[in-house]
Amino acid sequence: MQTEGGQTIAVELYATGFSNTVGLSAAIAISDPTAIAAVSGEKKQGYSFPADPIKWSSGASEIEFNEGTLAVSAEAGSNLKLVGVVQITLAQGFSAFELTLTSLRFDYADGTSQIAEPNLVMTVVNLGRLPKLFSADFNLDSGNQNSRSRFVNPGVKFPVQLFASGVKTLTSYEIRAQIDTDEIDAASIEFVPRRQFVVSVPGADGGIGDGGTDASRISADIQSSADESLTDSRSIQAGSGESVTVELYATGFSNTVGLTATLTLDNPSAVSTISGEKKQGYSFPASPVSWTGGSELTFNEGTLATFTEEGSDLKLIGILTFTMATSEPLNIAFAALNFDFADGNSESATSDVILAVNGTGGDPSGGGSATTGDESRASIDVQDVGDDVLTSGKNLEVAGGETVLLELFATGFSNTVGLTAVLGLDNPGAVTEVSGEKKQGYSFPANPIKWNSGDATIEFNEGTLAVPNRNGLRLETHRYCVGHARSGLFYA
């Protein structure tokens, strides 16, 4: 509960099974005795003594609540009943503490006793006295994971979560951020406030305390080919048709019957296939990778014959091989590893490891094509009404059912007989229809769009037998009908 110094709170004690008792004794542990100024008690079941049911001295870490009688009572029913109330007056300077009902002893008239140990924990917080803490992370999951770094593609918005605690009676706030204006478009920064503050206690789950990542339990690196040695390699260059290897490391897997690793991909359309190789003698599944083309994949290992791990150093538990479908950038996050033990228990370790695959701009097949990340060669903007002019517009807010235009610009297409633009959708379900309009006199195809509902990629095609001869950036146009009021990202 939330309260302030100087206030009195009531802890109500409930029990059953006290017929024929001559005494009850409840023990309550205090995590911070200095938070308490005074304690008193009130009996509730007709016990006649002691006159003062409370045993507590200032500074003591335990309160004992007592009731006694010579005339034993008969309890009706087995539901929990109020047996006593402990009144606690709080010290002026307290910030937060816990009360734990550790035990309740029943003393019966026949000389026997029974003890219940509920170990119920109650937290008392004075928000006005909590330290004023501020934090931020890149992970949008509930709570603060202390994610302090990530990779993003140019032109893509990325979120930053902000956290504060100890801000009771707050009526306004100002956030100042120092940014590199050469790398970040300050005019496009948006702030979305929470509708209500979330109360947090320092060190509690979801608060400002340390996140749940454990680099000593799991880790990963990325290589052109597996070297079975954990390194600091977190990024690599690879293009369409090339493969990269992700090595997964862990410790603490003695007596496990299974491991399940979860990885997430920010651009799954950049990947054509994923395969996996087990490394710790697990006997099944035969194919340890589960991936259907989405943004999440799992790597599984299982065994019926458990083994004992030697040492606590990180060991190679599996290898994932990614074959690239495009030369687009890809970020692979090692999100979590679940340990399933032979005794039925499970443990989970999370990770903040992000592995980056940077597009090379080349074609390893030697087909003579070329791709670049140079916006002087190709660019894009998004408009609600086409203006045939390249602008800096990369974001647009629209409602479901509305149509937006994605304008494609390029140069250097003299003597071409065809252009093919590939776009990726992070949320294909947001689109109901796609159509295209050619702009540079290309004569075919009649319908330049290749897209089926639900596809994560769109291809825009133009072809001609009479090669054009143009200079400067010229316009081509895509039209998109947004079917649901949900945001989407387009990767050109």
Q: What is the structure's pLDDT at 316?
A: 95
Q: Would you say residue 93 has pLDDT above 90?
A: no
The answer to whether the beta carbons of residues 270 and 423 sit under 8 Å apart is no
* Structural domains in the chain plus CATH codes: 8-128 (2.60.40.680), 130-212 (no CATH), 218-359 (2.60.40.680), 378-491 (2.60.40.680)
Give residue 166's pLDDT band: very low, low, confident or very high (50, 70, 90). Answer: low
What is the model's pLDDT at position 238? 87
| Inter-residue contact 482 to 488 (CB < 8 Å) | yes
First to last CA, the chain: 52
Per-chain mean pLDDT for the chain: 81
For residue 17, what pLDDT band results from cuts at 50, 70 and 90? very high
| Percent of the chain residues topping a pLDDT of 90 | 35
Give the mean pLDDT of 395-422.
Answer: 81
Query: In angstroms, what CA-CA distances link 52 with 13, 47, 66, 124, 258?
Result: 16, 11, 8, 25, 57
Find tokens 């924990």 and name the residue.
121
Single-letter amino acid code for the residue at 41: G
> CA 433, 438, 444, 447: dihedral to nearest 10 degrees?
10
Of 201-210, 306-315, 469-478, the range with the lowest mean pLDDT is: 201-210
The C-alpha angle with vertex 129 and arms to 128 and 130, in degrees rounded to 5, equals 100
**Average pLDDT rounded to a whole number, residues 442-454:** 81
Does 405 score more than 60 pLDDT?
A: yes
Question: What is the band of 477 on the pLDDT scale with cuts at 50, 70, 90?
Answer: very low
Q: What integer is the mean pLDDT of 350-371?
A: 59
The pLDDT, as a whole number, for residue 376 is 55
**Tokens of residue 381, six digits:** 């903007």
Q: How far apart are alpha carbons 385 and 377 in whole angstroms?
A: 24
Question: Residue 61 — very low, low, confident or very high, per pLDDT cuts 50/70/90?
Answer: very high
pLDDT at 481 over 70: no
Place 196 in a pLDDT band, splitting at 50, 70 and 90.
Answer: very low
Span 225-284, pLDDT tens digits: 999 999 888 888 888 889 999 999 999 999 998 999 999 998 899 999 999 999 998 888
pLDDT for residue 213 is more than 80: no
Kindly state the average pLDDT of the residues 133-141. 79
The top-scoring range by mean pLDDT among 13-27, 415-429, 435-449 is: 13-27
The pTM of this model reads 0.37
The more confident residue out of 402 and 128 is 402
Question: What is the rounded average pLDDT of the residues 161-181?
Answer: 77
What would the pLDDT profile of 278-335 be if each residue is shown by its tens digit?
999 888 888 899 999 988 999 999 988 887 898 889 999 999 999 999 988 899 999 8
User: Which comes out higher in pLDDT, residue 289 or 164?
Assistant: 289
Which H, E and C letters describe the chain, residue by residue?
CECCCCCEEEEEEEECCCCCEEEEEEEEEECCHHHEEEEEEEECCCCCECCCCEECCCCCCEEEEEEECCCCCCCCCCCCEEEEEEEEEECCCCCEEEEEEEEEEEEECCCCEEEECCCEEEEEECHHHCCCEEEEECCCCCCCCCCCCCCCCCCCCCCCEEEEECCCCCCCCCCCCCCCCCCCCHHHCCCCCCCCCCCCCCCCCCCCCCCCECCCCEEEEEECCCCCCCCCCCEEEECCCCEEEEEEEECCCCCEEEEEEEEEECCHHHEEEEEEEECCCCCECCCCEECCCCCEEEEEEECCCCCCCCCCCCEEEEEEEEEECCCCCEEEEEEEEEEEECCCCEEEEEEEEEEEEEECCCCCCCCCCCCCCCCCCEEEEEECCCCCCCCCCCCCCCCCCCEEEEEEEECCCCCCCEEEEEEEECCHHHEEEEEEECCCCCCECCCCEECCCCCCEEEEEEECCCCCCCCCCEEEEEEEEECCCCCCCEEC
b/e per residue, 463-482, with b = 16+ CB within 10 A?
ebeeeeeeeeebbbbbbbeb
- Using pLDDT thresholds of 50, 70 and 90, give the confidence band for residue 208: very low
pLDDT for position 237: 85
Q: Can you give the pLDDT at residue 168?
A: 65
